[in-house]
Amino acid sequence: MACIFCQIAGGEIHAEILYQDEEVFAIRDINPQAPSHILVMPKVHIASVADMNEEQSTLLARLVFTANLLATKEGIAERGYRLVTNCGPDAGQAVPHLHFHLLGGRQLGRLG
> Known catalytic residues?
99
Return contacts of 29-35, CB within 8 angstroms, 24+ apart: 29/101, 33/101, 33/103, 34/82, 34/103, 34/104, 34/105, 34/106, 34/108, 35/104, 35/105, 35/106
Is 90 in a helix, a strand, or coil?
A: helix
